[in-house]
A and B are shown apart, each in its own frame.
Chain A
Amino acid sequence: QVTLRESGPALVRPTQTLTLTCTFSGFSLSTGGMCVSWTRQPPGKALEWLARIDWDDRKYYSTSLGTRLSITKDTSINQVVLTMTNMDPADTGTYYCARMTRLRKGDYASGNYFYAYYMDVWGRGTAVAVS
């Protein structure tokens, strides 16, 4: 059974750095094709994707927030850590981590293929207030 759990401070002060930990079980981030993504949701607003880290340590960041974000993994203890610098009250919301896996599409033998990625299991989220 795949589970993910987010943890971190419930309250941070403006300009501080937020550190969130995603602890997961039921899969390994060393396995090819496995990724973990972070998404957040301000109160009453839409989901916003933040960052992703892949099994091979490739990292992707939201274009609008990229300079403030850093994502790392520790496969030995099944954790992914997201840091966000210079926190602002507008960063208040619920932060979710999710496993991201992939489906290969096309003809692998000919090299004409690509992968469809999707977030198939989500954590329950952790609420962060910036005040």
Chain B
Amino acid sequence: SSELTQDPAVSVALGQTVRITCQGDSIRDIYVNWYQQKPGQAPVLVIYDKINRPSGIPARFSGSSSGNTASLTITGAQAEDEADYYCNSREISGNEVLGGGTQLTVL
């Protein structure tokens, strides 16, 4: 089965730019989505299909992909962006797969 690898924790100074990455063999050929989860809340979709931002998600969130690595970039991180971020893709079987999550701290 495919796996998606994320750094467990990342920190960023308030107002600075941070990139959260997701590595996996399936990423090269298929979609990657990103979800934000704050403590005690359900996940929220922030990027779908590698680069698309749903309506209502601030423009400081962007997605990109190169080879087997997808990235979520927050340009000008805000205090409210402190959360866990999960990437999601799909195995050849059709099963969804989620990364282990990255805990983002805004300093």
Contact = CB atoms under 8 A, between A and B. Distances in A.
Q: Is the interface of A mostly helix, strand, loop or mixed?
A: strand
A61 B95 CA distance: 7
B1 A119 contact: no
A125 B43 CA distance: 10
Interface residues of B, number: 26
Interface residues of A, number: 27
A48 B35 CA distance: 13
Interface string B69-107: 000000000000000001010100111111111000000
Contacts of A46: 86, 98-101
Contacts of B52: 103
Given A60-B94, A61-B95, A118-B31, A47 B49 contact: no
A120 B101 contact: no
A49 interface: yes
B88 A96 contact: no
Contacts of A103: 31, 48-49, 52
A48 B90 CA distance: 13
